[in-house]
Amino acid sequence: SLAAAFFTGVLMFLIIGISMRFIMSLKSDGTLNYETLKGMHGTVYISIPGRLERGGQVTIAHPSQLLYLPAVQEGEQSLPAGTPVEVVAVTAGVVTVKPLH
């Protein structure tokens, strides 16, 4: 009976260890890496003025969350709300976009 108890204890130790390792692998950091936004598509939420002027905002459906980010664009004409755009660069949390054609 001593051998059976020892074997059962070792077996339970291994099962609990494997379970804990699996549970710890499920954790998520949740920190947004802005570099992953390059090339993603979004929609203008607040119209974006031209010539890199601030004041616009876009929505981007990132795989982990819906983002509302400040945006600028290099074009001369402003982009009205609802315009589909693509992210071309990210600087200090502000995305630079270009309209999709």
Q: Is the dihedral of CA 5, 6, 9, 10 positive or negative?
A: negative
Domains and CATH numbers, the chain: 34-99 (2.40.50.140)
pLDDT on residue 32: 85
**Residue 19 is which amino acid?**
S
pLDDT on residue 64: 78
pLDDT on residue 53: 92
pLDDT per position as a tens digit, 29-79: 778 889 999 999 999 999 999 998 999 999 999 887 899 999 999 889 999
pLDDT on residue 16: 97
pLDDT per position as a tens digit, 6-29: 999 999 999 999 999 999 999 877
